[in-house]
Structure 1
């Protein structure tokens, strides 16, 4: 009798195991399960694939992958030649993207990442290794999906004899993945041209920023491009070049030892600077609480000596702010690069200054590519 009960229990467990193989989450309907998984970070989805074959199939669903939230994966570097141009932020395992951008190097001899925005990367490329600075063209790529689009020649790209320089910035919102824009201008903003992936053409717009000099990396937030200037103000423009504006920075930032930097985190605009005009050298971080009223709130103040062990501002250079948490990245030009958690006050060494020179923060995106891409 007991033997019969044991046999029935084994059969029941075997049947339950078969049901689990067919349905990864048991009795949970597929619709809610997909909705739950679409909110799970992509790295977690990759781990779930190892559970079983049904989980592998479910977590490989491209619709789930496209909707899965992403976080900062690392930094692209402005490297010449064939060296790796990506640093994995975690430092563990294989990076989410090819560090060499091999899928692009099959078509372009030499390329240099210039700007990352929303998961896309804007690169300069040359047809050969014997290049001149004025002979480059532009390509926009998605390293996560290995899709790319070559842009037509920039109409305001200048020759060597001209003293002016051309700047190019990428504008892309993963929430609207069907289009991207490239904003380009001369150094003093006398000429401004915008490329749209919708039309595949460059369009000249009237500049609203005459005699402004941008510094640092731009920030694309809420459909608006933001740039810090040497005049200690943040200038803004929409993607069509119709609405031009300016945001004043906190007054004491104007007294900083160097120009402030800007970034975006958790949906807000941040600004930070190194202040050496007090008894101790400090890092000051501000968050824009009221966008319309330009109301800033001081987020954090920390002594540079606590971060790097010496009080020498001129050797410290901010890199970026994490888009999803209160984490600042900085580099000491004499040696190391660090991350500083403004909440826990913890400091971690993430590499050397040489490694992170020209680093551009990158967040992957698995959204659909515009229809004319490769």
Structure 2
């Protein structure tokens, strides 16, 4: 957007801007939000967001254990399952779904021509049918364990970032920015920082937040410096103290609402989901407060949502805490929680407004929450 148009837009009142945006299709509205960041804040305003275009398709991406196609299970009642969401990605013999973030999808791929020890990634935007192949990384053999995370937020930056954590004999962290052309390597990565690929994560206001072992959140900031071959800095913050008894046995879920970090986890009885908010984060107060409780007892129609396994021959009878459900996605702005019901082996959604559960589909494979993004991928930077 040129300067003259920006000045003209700045003269309009918020009410007039929202009225104009409300007349657009959802796809055009998304493009406007990416072009002019001030407009993206309207989606978080409780009064304005009711007037703005709604999302057409939100859903859950997953891949079966046989690494077959990557379908999208839509959460819209009038839209069935959409097969082949990544149909336009160049064909590879082995395409493995790893992560998605704000409309972009990250996959690992290889073919019969891929040399041993080489790891290749491709980032795709299913909504615009674009894809971008990342430079090769040399990670050793496939027996090494890796956790790979995608970070992207078009309202903050047009660039995406990929973090590849290696849990091999030599722990290291590889980082890629679409604003550069090479991987950056932190070969002094602290091996004490460990987490599994299932741990919750969120990209918020230019910060990547990942839950790690030890009831903490690992936070990366300064990602924009990666375009200049400068490593971002990181630190840890503690999760809510009263979440620790349950955090040892199950994963919670992050969400961003009104630009603030939220964390959700079942309580010890399983009869409610507690949602905490990290208040006044910009002033580094780092204080978690309870935002709300979501009633699971009424939603499931029963109280017995938690059971215990014993700790072995000499272990306590109530050593291992188990819950009938697990939180897959939390979207407070759309008043939606996605759960996996381990008892019925179904995916279900919980409506925060009505307190009702709705069945999505059978099966509880690992899913990632998908929201379409209609901004174009950044242009490929030339290699030096």
Q: TM-score, normalised by structure 1?
A: 0.73
Distance 1:101 1:161 in 2: 27
Structure 1 position 66, deviation (Å): 6.4
Deviations 1:77-128 (A, max 9, x none): 1334444521111132367x76441101x43233232111121111112325
User: How far apart are residue 138 of structure 1 and its match?
Assistant: 0.8
Q: CA deviation at 1:366?
A: 1.0
**Structure 1 CA distance, aligned partners of 2:106 and 2:161?**
10
How far residue 285 of structure 1 moved from its aligned partner, in angstroms, is 2.0
Written as runs of structure 1 = structure 2, the 5 A alignment for 1:50-129 is 71=55, 73-79=58-64, 80-93=66-79, 99-104=84-89, 106-127=90-111
2:330 aligned with 1:321: yes
- C-alpha distance 65-229 of structure 1, shift in aligned 2 (>3 A): closer
Distance 1:242 1:229 in 2: 18
Alignment length, in residue pairs? 317
Structure 2 residue 352 is the aligned partner of structure 1 residue 342 = yes
TM-score (norm 2): 0.71
Is 1:42–1:65's contact at 8 Å kept on the other side of the alignment? no
Match of 2:249 among 245, 254, 258: 258
Q: CA deviation at 1:324?
A: 2.5
Q: Distance in 2 between matches of 1:340 and 1:182?
A: 31
Specify the SS of the correspondent of 2:219: strand
The separation in 2 between residues aligned to 1:131 and 1:85, in whole angstroms, is 25
Task: Determine the C-alpha separation between the residues in 1 that align with 2:251 and 2:154.
Answer: 27
Matches within 5 A, 1:121-140: 121-127=105-111, 136-140=119-123
**1:202 is matched with which residue?**
183
Superimposed CA distance per residue, residues 142-190 of structure 1 (whole angstroms, 9 cap, x where no aligned partner): 10001111111223x231455xx11111111212553211111123893
Taking the aligned partners of 1:69 and 1:145, their CA distance within structure 2 comes to 18
Q: Which runs of 5+ in 2 are unaligned?
A: 1-14, 36-51, 307-321
Distance in 1 between residues matched to 2:105 and 2:117, nearest whole Å: 20
Equivalent residue of 2:298, what SS?
A: helix
Q: What is the distance in 1 between the residues matched to 2:375 and 2:236?
A: 32
Compare CA radii of gyration and give the structure with the larger one. Answer: 1
The unaligned stretches of length 5 or more in structure 1 are: 1-31, 46-58
For the residues of structure 1 that align with 2:213 and 2:116, how far apart are their CA atoms? 25
Out of 208, 211, 231, the residue aligned to residue 225 of structure 1 is 208
SS in 2 for 1:214: coil
Aligned-pair RMSD on alpha carbons?
A: 3.4
Partner of 1:18: none
Partner residue, 1:25: none
**Does structure 2 retain, via aligned residues, the 8 Å contact 1:38–1:65?**
no
The reply on whether 1:168 has 2:148 as its aligned counterpart is yes
Are the structure 2 counterparts of residues 191 and 174 from structure 1 closer, same or farther at C-alpha, using a change threshold of 3 Å? Answer: same
